[in-house]
Structure 1
């Protein structure tokens, strides 16, 4: 799980420029999220990485189509 968390944080740092405190907060949140996934039975490190990145992007709102200007028209 630690390898997946490290990979998530490295990739996320490339996508978003944030302070050290914000990075530490994101690491704590994604660690809690991945712990839940692992306890539920997910073991694939690649899938954990994708799920973790998706989770962080949902938290910061970068996956929201409305915020990105999509109106459905």
Structure 2
């Protein structure tokens, strides 16, 4: 799951500029969200996480 979280954060970082605090908060939110997912495929988790990040940060 860590690989998916890292991919979400790198990809989202290309979309929006976040302060270090906002990045930490978003990483925690994405981690919590993906921890509840029944999905195990890293690619699918990354897609779910990116969708969540966009919605959470108001970019979706």
Aligned pairs (5 A) from 1:1-73: 1-37=1-37, 41-63=38-60
Question: Of the two, which has the highest radius of gyration?
Answer: 1
Would you tell me which structure has more helix in proportion to its own residues? 2
TM-score by length of 1: 0.78
Alignment root-mean-square deviation, CA: 0.7
Aligned residue-pair number: 60
* TM superposition outliers: structure 1 runs of 4+ over 3 Å: none
Ranges in structure 1 where 5+ consecutive residues have no aligned partner? 64-73
Gaps of 5+ in 2: none
